[in-house]
Every structure is written in C-alpha cells, then in structure tokens.
Structure 1
Amino acid sequence: MVGGGWLVAVVLAHTALSLSREESKVFLLQAGVYDQPSTEVFVRYNFSSGPALSPLEDLTVCYRVWITKYRSSISPFVSYAYSDEADNALLFFQAKDDLAFYYNDKKESSDLLLKADDTLEIWHHHCFVFTHPSYRVYVDGVLIQDGVLVSQAAPIPLNGTLYLGQEQDKFDGGLDAHQSFSGYITQVNIWDYEVKPSVIWSIANCLDNARGNVLSTDATPVEESKVGTQTVHMSAFCKSREKFVIIPVKMFPSDADSFCRLADSRFFIPADEEANSNLYNASRQFAEACAGKSYRFIFLGAKDDVMEGQWTRIADGQPLHYTAWSPGEPNGGNKRNCLVLRKYDDRWGDVQCEDKLCFSCGRSNLDYLQLRGLCQKEEHQTRFLLDGYINGWPFFRGYYGMLIYHSGVSEWMLQDTNGNITMAILSMVDPTGFPIGRRAWRVVTSFCGYLEESQVVLGLSTCTTQEFMCTDGSCVPRSVRCNLRDDCLDGSDEENCSIVFFSDRYHNHRPPPGATFDTPLQIEPSVDLIRFSKIDDIDLAFHIEIEIALSWTDRNLRFKNIKNEEGKNKLSEQEVEKVWTPEVEFLNVNDGQLKLLKSGMYVRQTGEPDPPIFTDVQMDTIYQPKSGRLVQRRQYYASFSCNFGLFKYPFDTQTCFIFIKLASADTNVLSLKNASVVHRGNSQLPKYSLQNIKIFIKSRSGYGVLEVEFQLERRWSLLMLTIFMPTFLLLGIGYGTLYIKLVAFQVRAIMTLTTLLVLYTLFNQVSSALPNTAYIKMIDQWFFFCIFLIFSIIVIHITVENLEKEGDAHKTRTVKVSPMDGRKVPLKPSLFTFTVSAEKVLLVCRRLVYPLIILIFCLIFWIVILSVS
C-alpha cells in the first residue's frame, strides 16, 4: 500500500519482534503520493542505549530498498554517525543510477561508477562488505565493484546512532528534508564479519533471510517516527508482476492500443489467476462508468485469429497461455472476436471489435514518460509514470515528486508535491482527453520564469532526446523533422519549420563580422558554368547560363533542423528578407543582356549539432553558427563580350573571361577566398571545345573581383569539309584545265572562269560568317592564294593561246633575209636556239610551277599558324 499521512507516534520497542524466519518488517518512509519531504520521518537505533559493543574491524551491511520517488539531492538509505566530526562514518545512498557510500567520512566511490537500477517501484538488495583495506559491493546478489578503501585502517566504534531514510550532517541530527528517503526499506542487517558471497546471493534471491549479529530490523527493536510498517513474506520481494492501470474511457481496440503505446505501456492481459483477480477487484470502482447495465466491461488486449484458430495478443501477436473463460464462452464465432472481462465476475467473454469499451494498460518498471518544457537541471527529473487513480482517473507521477492528475472537471493539474504547489492547469476540449503530447498549459503559480496566467507549452511523451515528439505524443526520429514530408500522423513534424534563429540585435543592412571582429567577412564563391547556349562570332560574345554560389558564416545566426542535403535547407522568403546577403555585378555583360532566372538561400551543414536539450518541448536540433554556412545561389542568363582573335581561323582558340564583382562592400569588409569553378555539361560545344577553365581572385578599385577564364578551341573538322575541301577541289579543277587540249580554248576558259567565280562566292560566304576585322586573317590569305592561283591559270591559258603550236613549227622553215642583196638565206641551227611553244609552257606549269607554288604556300601557311600558336 502506498499511502499518505502515515502518522505513527514515536515508539521505543524494548522487546524482540515476533516475526517468523520467513517474514520481514517493511518500513514505509514518506512513500505516499502527496507526502512532502520531511525530517520527522525516520527509523533510528542508538547503539549506546544497548550493551557495549566492540569497534568493528570487518563489517558487512545489507539492506533491501524500494524507491518511490527521488529527491533533488540524494536518497539516503542507511546513515551512521558517532560524532559531529564523523557524521558520515557509514553512509549508503543513491543519486539517479549512481550508488555511492562513505566509510570513515571518506567518499570511497568518488572516482567509481557504481551503477544501479534507477527505475522506481522495484525491490533491490544492496550489500557492502568491508575487510580493510578492501571492499566489495553487491547489487541483487551480484558483485558489481571491488576496490581498496581510501580511509585509514581505523575501526568504527559502535556507540553512535543509525538512521534509516535520513542523512546525518552531525551526530544524531542535522537532518535535511531534501536528503531524505521516499520508499520502503526492509531487511537491514549488520554483521561484524565478512559475509560469504553465497549467503548474500541467497538473501538477495529470497532463498534465505539471514539476520545480522550486530543489527537486524527483523529482530532488533528500533525507534520509528511517523513511519508506516508492514509485515511481508520474504518471497514477495522477488516477485515481479506487471503493473496495470485501468483507463475509464471507452475506445475502440485500435485506439486503446495506440493510447497504451503513447503511455509507454501495452494492453494488459492477466497472465495468471492472481493477476486476473487483481484486475477484476481494481476495476469494480469503474463498473458503472465503463459497463452500465451491460456485462461487457474491460477490453483485454487480445483477439481471435480466425485463420490460426487461437486467441493472440493485439500488441505483439503472441498466443495466450492463460485464459479465464466464462461458461459457454467464447461464443461469437467470426463476428465476436475481441476479448473482454465481464462485469459480474472475473471471467472472460468475447465481443465485437467494433464496440467501444474501457481497457487497462500494463507497464513494467522500465516504462516511463518524460515531461518537457520545465527547467529541470537533469533529464532524470523529467521522468513520469502512469500510476494509480485520483478522482477516479489515472494520474502521472514524476520521479521527483511532480504530479499530473485529473481534477474531475475536464482539467488536468500539474502539482509539485514537494511544496504542495499547483503549478499549471490544462483545460481539455475533450473531457475524456489525456495530457499526453504537446499541450498549452495555463500557469497558476510562477515557475521557470513563466508568469502567472501566461501560457506554457509542455510535452508529455515517451520520446527520447533522439526523437521528435508529435503533437499527439507519438515519436518519430529527429532526422525526419522538417524534411518536407509528413511523418507524424498529425503532420506536426512539418510545423514551425523555420531554419534560422534571429537575435533581437540582428541587422540585415550590413555584413556580419568576420572570424574575429577586426577581420573582414570571408566569402567563398563557386561558379557553375551551366550551359553555353550560343557563341556569336559576329558580335564577339557568348551566351551562357551561369550560377553564382556565395557561402559565408554569419556569426549572428543559429540554425535548427538542418539536413545533410543542402537542398532540403532552403530558407523561406520571409527568412531571406531578414538575412543579409551579398550583391554581385558582372563587369563584361554584353549590351546589358542579363536576366536573373532563379534565386535561393540555403544552409549548408558543416558541423555537428548541439547536444539535445532535454527540456526543449519543441525538440528541435540546434546548430551553432560555426556548424552551418549560409549559401546564396543565383542563376543568370547573360551575354558576355569576348575579344575573339580570328587570325588563325578556323584553327583558332579563343580565351574568354567573365568578371564578377562583389559589390556589397570593399575588401576591408568583405574578402573572397577559396574560389572554385565547374562546368558539369558536355565540353564539346557545337562549334567549340571548352577547356582550361580557371578562376582567379583579383581586386579592382578596392573591391573583390572574380575572373573566370576559359578557352574555346574551334572544332575545325566540319570546316575542313566545307571550306578547305571545296577549295582544294576547285584548285584541282583549275589545275586540271591545264590538261585540256590546246585547240579547246573556249572550254579551258569557261571552266577556269567558272571555278574562279565559285571560289570567290565561297570566299564571300565564309567572310560573311566572320566579323569585319582590320587585319588579314589566315583564311583570307588562303582564299587570296586560291583566287590568284586560278587567275594565273587563266593568264597562262591566254598566253599559250598566242604562242605557236609545235605542229606549226615543222610545217614552216625559218630563213634569214640578207640586207645586201635582199636574198633569203636559210638559218643554220644553233646550240642556243630553242623554240617556246604552247605545249612546253603548259608542260612546265603542269609538272613544276603550280605544284611547287601550292607546296610552298601550304608550308608557309602552316608555319605561320604554328608560329602564332
């Protein structure tokens, strides 16, 4: 029984206790729900009042405890002092899961971690064995620590006072209510020798009830002050039973199962006759509210698996091993397949699963909820248990004396039982609702900085610090918070998803400070050349889609719930308007052709988040400024001018630039570093090959400037087919006219002139696709050469037409006319005389002159190209 208001007068018992060997006396020390911390509740034994005992050289102290609630300081179990200077001669206590002890005023466990079970309402057996200079600590019969004592080898005199449930700050006094014990203590035994481990194990497992030869609370009369007592069979200390709480609200089985899960429990189904009887007896107080005139009373969390032909648990699908059917039950066939406890006896029946009924939730000692939104100093203080009944409703009891209970009129009260103070009230729209989940409470008494009549949001759930609490109290991983998808059934994980925390002194009209207040803010630029849409040889410009990403650390901002993927951390328009952002200008935009396609602000995660704050009811993941960088991404479509050098066309390579100026402030305030440029597209453009992309950080007029440099190498393979191949063919045609018969002058002339005209047309067409330049390009020289070559062929044709043919030279005879007498004298042949005929001229041009001219020009042409490369 956990009762409040135990008022037992101080009694001095001078006779031995009449307990059997299997029974033990249990002391109830401030174990009631409403019991406030007090120094007047204790069990005491004064060794000086009895026969004189020798000081203890070796010592064994054992006891069994059941903790009902913790204190903000420590929960003392046994305290022994024999003087004001030796107020901690022996002290055994627990703080959360740390089991600690003093020996001869030395905290022997200061550097040790004696971990113990920190859950409430479960029996634990502690045993400390001292054989100076060593010690051993047993918990539930198992050795968890051994070591060497720090204190000197002084025996402990037995002329002092022993307290149970209080700590002595001085001999037989100096008690502190916040250093008192709340719970049950029994089987306190002291031996003046080393008790064997086998005996300790037997006591811990309820196989033996050995009593101390120095002190035993089952045999030694002790002084009790406002203490409740019970006599319990020792086997009860080792029984483990699932606790249950009846929920007097009618729900469908699925809703009831969800509620139990939200309360960190499960549908309760009795596992034996005793548990079934206890459930039925406890449910009698709700007979009218839950059953009325019907025999259907309490849902038991099981249903009939029609396919398998057996009854199984709703929670885990496991078959039932114990049943308590009423005669004639079950009788519902396939329609009535849910298990119910009947109203008129403790037997079971089956009902339709579409019915609404009351139900019970069972929990173990490891099950608890946590209340967030207060100002507890430690997470352990946030724990709450679903417990018994107040005003006919289940209540939630905190580990440290907090209480959430139903007022009986649609309100839930948050009370601090340590000071008997009502802190806040929750008004429910649904009179059958429970305070599980995130709720807005009205402050009644100021606490944690909240003023009276103000609103405070508190969250009661089973969620750990690694989870996010949905509004209804269900839990999802923190990683899914604000991931643009509803993971909570009520969608609350996507509410209040702002990313940036703004301080009251934040200004967006000026840049934030740098790494230190006397250094400029460093901005890391990244340029992405997305797509070249057009390269204009005529206007000497290129059209491109480009993205400019600027990232920086704003020391005045914090972030929340940011993801590893930058794209999921986009700031809203309202946040973008509040954040300072840098501005850029493009210095070589062609005729102002610049268009902003899209813009976005993101946060890039660069570090780890802060440790979760266990009192944070919103349960957001917080990042400090150094753990996140703001990233501004802007995508433009623009035309940039480029100084094309076309002398080597079509074997030219152009070097172009994009000049980007950081225009928000000069380099004394903003500086650029770690610039990068990337082009993820195909480097083989329609007319050019993109290569050698570089980026440089420069300064112009005191402002930081990015210079993006890249080269466009013209792809000349198609031009070889469309320019040089036709010109070679035309040259071949012109050259081929040298092989036409001399008598066909008209054919030679027409072919040569036509070739010349076609060549000129091709030259004109190629020139029109290039900008006008003051200098002569290599392609111009090539066409000039081809035109002049064809022209020279025409000249040759005209020349040979006026030369005599070799056939005509054989038909005529060459004579010389004498001036003396006018006689004609035949000329004699001479070694230096030759005849220039048309055939010889053509032969020389065919075999020597024109091939040599073409070869020499081509060599000169390529030498010039290579020399200027």
Structure 2
Amino acid sequence: MTNDIGLHEWSHYCHNFHHGEYRAYIHGELAASGPFSVPHKVPLPVKGIITIGQEQDLLAGGYDTDQSFRGHIAQVNIWSRSLTPEEVRVQAGCAKSPIGNIFSTDREAVELLGGATVELVDHSYFCRKDVEYVIFPEARYMAESRLTCNRIGYEVYTPLNRADNIVLHQESLRFAENCLSNYHLWIGVTDQEEEDVWRKFTDNSIAETQFELNEPNGGTGENCMLMFLPNGLWVDTSCVIKWPACVPCEVDRTSPLRLRGFCFSNEAETFYEVLGYRGEKPYLHGYYGFMVYRSSNYTWEMFDTTVGEVVGILDVPSKDSYPIGRHTWTLRRSMCNYLIGSRIPLSFSICDNDEFTCANGDCIPKERRCNAKDDCSDLSDEEDCQFIVLPKGYRSERPPDNETEGLAINLASVVRVLRFMEISDIRRVINVEFTVEITWNEPRPKYYNLGDTLEWNKLSETDRGKLWTVKLQFPNVYDGNIKLLSEELYLNKIAGPMPPDYNNVRMDTVYHGKSAMMVQRLHYSGIFACTFDVFYYPFDSQHCFLQLQLSVRRELVKFSEEKAQVEYLEDPKLPAYILKGIFITVLESGSNETRYSMLNVEFVLARRWKMIVLTVYLPTAMLQLVGYTTLFVNVALMDVSVLT
C-alpha cells in the first residue's frame, strides 16, 4: 500500500496489530487490513532505543543523511493494546486523547540529533488549514499576472475576511515601490459571471469584499479588482485595462513545480515549491534541499543546501524574469554526466509527465507536441522536432539483427503494378510502372512523438539518410532502363510509448524501436526483358517476369514468403493482351558462395486473338476474296459509277 504525503500539511497514521490481524488507518479511516504472522514472539526491551525519523543500517547506527525524514513529527505513541476505530478517528480529528502507555513523545525525554528542534503546540494546530500566498513584486497587467500565478500552480489570492485583507495590505507595503502606483495589487475576484456577485478565482465561491467608499462603480465594464495602496480597500476595474500591478498568488501544493534535466533517482527530488522571499523576490525550494533564488538583478542561482555548494547559474533577460519554463543553465559543479562549466537545458514547470512544457512554462498535452500546429503561445512546441534518435555506434550500412541469433530478418513486401506502358514482342520487352512497399522492424533507434497514421510519421530525407534501408537490384532489367521516381520512408506505430522519464527536459513521447515498423515505399518505371514464344500466334500466351533482388546477403536479410503480395491496379484488358494472372514468389539468386533473396513477379499475358482476327485476318481474307472474284467476272459488264 502506498499513499501521497501532503507537503506542509499534517497526516495522521495509525498501525494496529491485534491477534494476527494488521490494520492501517490514514486520517482516521481504515486504508488497509490483512492477516500477519511472525515465527516467534518479538521482545520489546524496556531499555531499548527507538530512532525516529532516520533509517538505520546497523543497530543504532549506519545512518545516511539521504535516508532521513525531513519535516515535522508529532504524537508518536505506542500502546500495549489495540485501539478501537473510534479512538483512531478522535485522534485524527485533533481532539485531546490519551497518550501511549508504552511510549509517547509527549511524555518521554527525547534526545535531539542532527539539528532537530522541539516546539509545543495545541492539539488543534494539526487540523488548522491556513491559506498561504506569495506576492510577486513585479508590475504586470491582469492577464499576465494571472499567468504568473498559474505557471507555478497557484491562483490569484483573495483574502478570506477583513483581518486577512489587513495582513495582505501590510505585507504588500514592502513591495509598494516596485508595484508602481496607488492601485498596486491585483485581487483574485471577478463578477464576470454575474454583475456585483464577486467570485474567487480559486474555487468560484462568493468572496467577502472589502470595497473602498463609492465602489464598485464600473458596472459590467469593470469585472476585476485592485487594492488601493493608502488603506488596502478594493476598487473595481477593467480586466483588460493597461494597468500594471503586483499580484499575490495563493499557494496550492497539489501540482508542484518540477525540475527536469538532471538525473535524479527519485521523482520527488524534482519537486519544488515557491516559498517566502530572498532579496525581495520569491524563491524556489526543492523538497530535497535545493534552493533557486535571485542572486543579482539578472542572475538566478541554484544552491544545494545539503553540501553548501552552488549547482548552477542562469542569466535572465530582465530583472523581472523568473526561471520558470525552459532555460540554459551554466553548471558550477559537476552534475550527472555534465562537467563544471557545461551549459545544459533545464526546465521548471508544473507540467505532469504526460504533458509538454512550453519554453515559457505553459503546459500542453504531449500528443500536441510536433503536430504541425502551434499549440504553445510561444510556438515552442514545434521547435526541434525529430522522429528518430540513433544509439551510439549505429551504422546505416548494416541491417538490423534478428531477435534469434543466426537468423535473417524477414521483410514483408507488397508489389503494386500500376500500369503496362508497352508490351513489345518484336523488341521482346515489357515497360512497367510499379511501386514496392517493404516493411521491417528496426529495433535499434528510439522514436519520438509518433502519430496514428503513416502519413503523419513520414521521415524527412535527412532522417532517411541516417537509417538502414532496403536497396534493390533488377536482374532482368533491359539495358539498364530502370528509373527510381520517388522514395519515401514511414514509421507505422504498432505499440504504445515507453514510460515517461521524469528527468527528460525535452518531454517528448518516446517509443522503443520495437513499437514501430519501418515502411519503405519505392516508385519505379522500367523496361524488362521477356522471352516471347509466338509459335501459336495469335492464340499464344506469354509469361513475363519482374525480378527484384536484395543487395544484402540472404543470411542477413530475406523476403518473407508468407508476407509477399502482388497487386495489379489497372484494367487487365490491354490493347493486344489480357492479363490472365499475376503471381509472386520468393526465390534465391547469386553464386554458390553468395546468395540473395529475390521477389519474382510473374505476368500471364494472353493475346487478344479475336481482335487480331477482326482487325487483321478478316480484312485480309475479304481482300483475297474480292481478288479471286475478279478472275471470273467481266468488269465491263458491271455498272460502275466513278466519281472524280
């Protein structure tokens, strides 16, 4: 059983062992249960040592700082009996309850190590839900201010009541100079939906407003809210007004910021939140000890608090810029496989692993990455698009290996005969236009952002040149008359993507080589030799062949007999012949030492004897008949009129 631990909020856990049954409660509710057994009784020494918040590899030793708990722990109790479900619910509800009769941190003397501290709080403290916010002290228009909050997973803040509004006003005064005007702070409410009913951006609930005298006064044209600097009260204004002001962002930890581009082994190490201020700017705090803060007007610094070292720096274009989105950092210490001084791309965004981070920090679904449409507002989703990533040592002249060692890879093939342009029994040739579609699996590369159709996954000429592809030879071509009209290479997706890599700054959808088939389409026009036997003319049938031979030895690559097909796409009734049949077989060719796999396409052409009889034999016979008739008829007796 696993569950998420909420950051900056208390979670109540109770583990109950009773007569061979284990029950786990989370927040007072039963989360799991089942039988358990131990081979013998386990003694609990009264004078033993309980270590809280630290995994130990040895008895009371073998501590590792990377395996220590970082946070707050309270009310650790051990009882000699099983608690009832009602007792568990009372404790989880922060009501005062009895402490453990064997051990309790509320009673026992606890030794503090590693900088741990203790503070005393009331029971109700553990169930308190405080609303937090961070003020971004840069003057921006309303739409841009809201984007600033949204890109870190927050929303524009609205005080709950008058007391909260006073606190917000007092805190905002420290940034008044940066906020530029007397109307210095945006408030996260709007009456766009219903006039004079002001609802919060965060949850659409109706807000308790704190209006200045004679406000609101803008009617339907003013649906947003600003705070008045002198007294902290509110005035309504247009949401599209060109009025820059600072913005308070309400903290929402359901979607943490994620750092991508390093090689963390634990996904939680990539999680960050915006906390407090350093140098009058909000800073980013990593769950595992990294901090990112502004060190000067145009420089941000990433600092590892666990070892006290600067990890990297980022130069930004303006003093109002933040490291949200994708940027190129300069390392000040070695990280992963990068050396000191390396410039590497890193990104901060709230995007999940099934989303793509735009350069400005916005998130879009991954399937919109490289889809020939601009989905990011900064157009960055269509940058650096590629379909293939080749492994180190890939050689395009070498075909892929079969999964079974020692066997050749099998090629599926479809030969489509488009048309006969000439059939000449005098020249003893056929002139044919045809296409060849060859399919195989290439497991060595990885593929990016595949679509669901072949046309979507068409590789560029540059990518095609990087890969091994089929090269054909034509043993029976006539006098070298073969022309390649076009060549195209596609990827046919046959399986789903690999699990997303939470460290990958590109955030492409990645497919294993086995998840797609290579589809090569070749379009040819050529003249091929054919042996014509005209002994039975015009009642003869001819057998002509189209032979396509691989240029790689059969031991490595061969055509599959079961997956070889042939199609004829034109009318089988030709001017002088009828195509009676078309067949395809897989043969071998070459010498005794080197054998090649070959497709042999056979055409059965039956001469159209009726047409020949009607157009040749019948007119000839009639002429002969007329000639013979003139031998027995006196032409002078015939009444013949001749027109001139």
Q: Give yes or no for contact 2:5–2:11 (8 Å, CA) kept in 1.
A: no
Stretches of structure 2 that go unaligned for 5 or more consecutive residues are 638-644
* Deviation sequence 1:795-841 (CA, Å, 0-9, x none): 7878xx9xxxxxxxxxxxxxxxxxxxxxxxxxxxxxxxxxxxxxxxx
Deviation at residue 558 of structure 1 after TM alignment: 3.5
Q: Is the CA contact 1:646–1:652 (under 8 Å) kept in the aligned structure 2?
A: yes
Contact 1:161–1:171, Cα closer than 8 Å, also in 2: no
What are the superposed Cα offsets for residues 43-82 of structure 1, whole Å, 9 maximum, x if unpaired?
xxxxxxxxxxxxxxxxxxxxxxxxxxxxxxxxxxxxxxxx
What is the 5 A alignment of 1:611-626? 611-626=499-514
Residue 352 (structure 2) aligns with:
464
Match of residue 300 from structure 2: 412
Q: Which whole-Å CA distance do the structure 2 matches of 1:678 and 1:282 have between them?
A: 78
Distance 2:199 2:540 in 1: 83
Partner Cα distance (2:472, 2:504) in 1? 40
Offset from partner CA, 1:753-790 (integer Å, 9 cap, x none):
xxxxxxxxxxxxx34xxxxxxxxxxxx4x666656666
Task: State the distance in 1 between where 2:146 and 2:483 align.
Answer: 59
Q: Output the TM-score relative to the length of structure 1.
A: 0.65
Which residue in 2 is equivalent to 1:345? 231
Q: What amino acid maps onto 2:325 in structure 1?
A: G
The secondary structure found in structure 1 opposite 2:523 is: strand
Over 3 Å counting, the alpha-carbon distance change for 1:691 and 1:610 in structure 2 is farther
Cα offsets for 1:280-299 (capped at 9, x unmatched): 34333222222x4x321221
Q: Quick check: 1:560 aligned with 2:448?
A: yes
Which residue of structure 2 lines up, in the alignment, with residue 330 of structure 1? Answer: 216
Which residue does 1:119 correspond to in 2? 6
Q: 1:266 aligns with which of 152, 155, 166?
A: 155
- 1:660 corresponds in structure 2 to 548
Q: Which amino acid in 1 is paired with 2:154?
A: S
Give the deviation of 1:455 after TM superposition: 0.8
Matches within 5 A, 1:596-745: 596-643=484-531, 654-662=542-550, 664-674=551-561, 675-679=563-567, 681-684=569-572, 687=575, 690=579, 692-701=581-590, 702-712=595-605, 719=611, 724=614
CA distance in 1 between partners of 2:46 and 2:470 (Å): 79
Which residue is equivalent to 1:288? Answer: 177
Query: 1:380: how far off?
Result: 2.5
* SS of aligned partner of 2:322: coil
Question: 1:508–1:580: 8 Å Cα contact kept in structure 2?
Answer: yes
1:652: how far off?
A: 6.5
Q: CA deviation at 1:367?
A: 2.1
Against the structure 1 CA distance between its residues 650 and 434, is the aligned structure 2 distance closer, same or farther, given a 3 Å change threshold? farther
Q: CA deviation at 1:173?
A: 5.8
Q: Which amino acid aligns with 1:268?
A: Y
Compute the TM-score of the two structures, normalised by the length of structure 2.
0.86
Q: Residue type of the partner of 2:132?
A: K
Change (3 A) 1:647 1:481: farther
Contact 1:683–1:691 (CA under 8 A) maintained in structure 2 = no
Q: In structure 1, what is the Cα distance between the partners aligned to 2:105 and 2:302? A: 38
What are the within-5 Å matches in structure 2 for residues 52-131 of structure 1?
113=1, 115-131=2-18
| In structure 2, C-alpha distance between the alignment counterparts of 1:227 and 1:395, rounded to whole Å | 24
**Alpha-carbon separation, structure 2, partners of 1:690 and 1:245:** 80
Measured in 2, the distance between the counterparts of 1:402 and 1:378 equals: 14
Which of these residues, 361, 377, 381, is aligned with residue 473 of structure 1?
361
What percent identity do the matched residue pairs reach? 33
Q: Choose from 24, 32, 47 the match for 1:145.
A: 32
Alignment check: 8 A CA contact 1:683 1:689 kept? no
- Letter paired with 1:463: C
**Residues 199, 207 of structure 2: 8 Å contact kept:** no
2:74 counterpart of 1:186: yes
2: CA distance, partners of 1:411 / 1:193:
58
Q: Which amino acid aligns with 1:573?
A: E
1:248 to 130, 133, 137: 137
Q: Which amino acid aligns with 1:245?
A: V
Q: Is this contact kept in 2: 1:134–1:147, CA < 8 A?
A: yes
The amino acid of 1:430's aligned partner reads S
Partner of 1:431: 319
Question: How many aligned residue pairs are there?
Answer: 625
Q: Deviations over 1:193-245 (max 9, x none)?
A: 32221121012112444333444444555555654444433233223344322
Aligned mates of 2:82, 2:511 — CA distance in 1: 55
Check the 8 A contact 1:299/1:341 in 2, yes or no: yes
Pick closer, same or farther for the CA change 1:498–1:172 going to 2, 3 Å.
closer
Given that residues 498 and 572 in structure 1 are in contact (C-alpha distance below 8 angstroms), is that contact kept between their aligned partners in structure 2?
Answer: no
Corresponding residue SS for 1:450:
coil
Cα drift, residue 671 of structure 1: 2.3
Counterpart of 1:276 in 2: which secondary structure?
A: helix
- Tell me, yes or no, if the aligned pair for 2:184 and 2:246 is still in contact at 8 Å: yes
Note closer, same or farther for the CA distance 1:407–1:690 as it changes in structure 2 (3 Å cut): farther
The answer on whether the counterparts of 1:209 and 1:234 sit within 8 Å (CA) in structure 2 is no
Query: Match for residue 642 of structure 2?
Result: none
Cα distance in 2 for partners of 1:691, 1:344 equals 96
Residue from 423, 429, 433 that aligns with 1:545: 433
Cα deviation for residue 479 of structure 1 reads 2.6
- Give the secondary structure class of the aligned counterpart of 1:158: coil
Based on CA coordinates, which of the two structures has the bigger radius of gyration? 1
1:440 positional shift: 0.8
Give the whole-Å Cα distance in 2 for the aligned partners of 1:513 and 1:135.
52
CA deviation after TM superposition for structure 1 residue 443, in Å: 0.4
- What SS does the corresponding residue of 2:282 show, helix, strand or coil? strand
Q: Bigger CA drift: 621-630 or 352-361?
A: 621-630
Q: Distance in 2 between matches of 1:489 and 1:716?
A: 70
Inter-partner Cα distance in structure 1 for 2:214 and 2:143: 26
Which residue does the alignment assign to 1:46? none
**How far has the Cα of 1:573 moved from its partner?**
2.7
Report the alpha carbon displacement of residue 696 of structure 1 after superposing the two structures with TM: 1.2
Report the 3-state secondary structure (helix = DSSP H, G, I; strand = E; otherwise coil) of the residue aligned with 1:404: strand
Paired residues of 1:466 and 1:478 also in contact (CA < 8 A): yes
Q: Which amino acid aligns with 2:257?
A: L
Counterpart residue identity of residue 134, structure 2: V
Aligned partner of 2:336 among 422, 433, 448: 448
Q: Which amino acid aligns with 2:396?
A: N
Higher helix share: 1
Larger displacement relative to structure 2 (643-652 or 376-385)? 643-652
Task: Specify the SS of the correspondent of 1:619.
Answer: coil
Which range moved further: 318-327 or 514-523? 514-523
TM-aligned CA deviation for residue 376 of structure 1: 0.7
Letter in 2 for 1:351: T
- Of the structure 1 ranges 513-522 and 123-132, higher mean CA displacement relative to structure 2 is found in 513-522
Q: 1:557 to 1:174 in 2, by over 3 A?
A: closer
Letter in 2 for 1:340: L
- 1: distance between equivalents of 2:196 and 2:418? 65
Change (3 A) 1:310 1:682: farther
Q: CA RMSD in A?
A: 3.4
Greater CA drift, 355-364 or 575-584: 575-584
Offset, 1:469: 2.1
CA separation of 1:495 and 1:643: change in aligned 2, threshold 3 A? same
Change (3 A) 1:677 1:306: closer
Name the CA distance, whole Å, in 2 between partners of 1:457 and 1:488: 18
Change (3 A) 1:241 1:585: same
Q: Name which of 378, 389, 394 aligns with 2:266.
A: 378
Any residues of structure 2 matched to 1:586-601 within 5 Å, and which? 586-590=474-478, 592-601=480-489
SS for the counterpart of 2:375 is coil
The aligned amino acid for 1:344 is P
